[in-house]
Chain A
Amino acid sequence: GENVEQHPSTLSVQEGDSAVIKCTYSDSASNYFPWYKQELGKGPQLIIDIRSNVGEKKDQRIAVTLNKTAKHFSLHITETQPEDSAVYFCAAVWGNMLTFGGGTRLMVKP
């Protein structure tokens, strides 16, 4: 089955700096890559996604890039704010099922 590796597991940045979270996947047939944000005590929420026919997608301060050849995709958050502090999960679709990465705890220091 699909295997998704996510790095780093924790990330601490200063408010206003950028944050980058990287994921690699194993199945070259995967074609959909969502990112979820989980705030403390809540369920994850979709923040951005990308399909395999696109190399980059941006939504205000967040962007996702996909490199199908290398089988990795990344989440970029610019101008980080304290409310960006959360756990972020990447995921990849294999065989119509989502496989999640292990998560990254992002801490934005004011």
Chain B
Amino acid sequence: DGGITQSPKYLFRKEGQNVTLSCEQNLNHDAMYWYRQDPGQGLRLIYYSQIVNDFQKGDIAEGYSVSREKKESFPLTVTSAQKNPTAFYLCASSIRGGNTGELFFGEGSRLTVL
């Protein structure tokens, strides 16, 4: 089945540690996105990539980093510089960039900082 796979589903981290969330898609989509979801705040864009080897900061990129070495993969690293990393993280893809078409989401990764 085509879709987006995020892993791990749940992750616990100690303060000061970096952690990487995986996102893989087999939809052959050009664009991929990372969103952060907090209660009552909707979905906020962290980073997006419209093509391999290129990515741009979203609204809340501070404390996060990404790479796009392969079309299928867009991992997100939550660094120790992120002040409040406990959240639900969603990865998405679309056929092309520009966000005027459907976004396909993964099932999310819940990060808890202890």
- Which of A's residues lie within 8 Å of B, judged by CB? 1, 4, 6, 9, 31-32, 34, 36, 41-46, 49, 89, 93, 96-98, 100-103
Contact = CB atoms under 8 A, between A and B. Distances in A.
Contacts of A4: 42
Given A43-B92, A93-B100, A101 B105 contact: no
Contact of A42 (B59, B92, B100, B107): B107
A33 to B, nearest CB: 11
14 contacts: A9-B40, A34-B103, A36-B105, A42-B108, A43-B105, A43-B106, A43-B107, A43-B108, A44-B43, A44-B90, A46-B102, A89-B43, A98-B45, A102-B42
Size bin of chain B's contact surface: 20 to 34
Prevailing SS type, chain A contact patch: strand
A42 B42 CA distance: 15
A103 B78 CA distance: 24
B45 A97 contact: yes
B84 interface: no
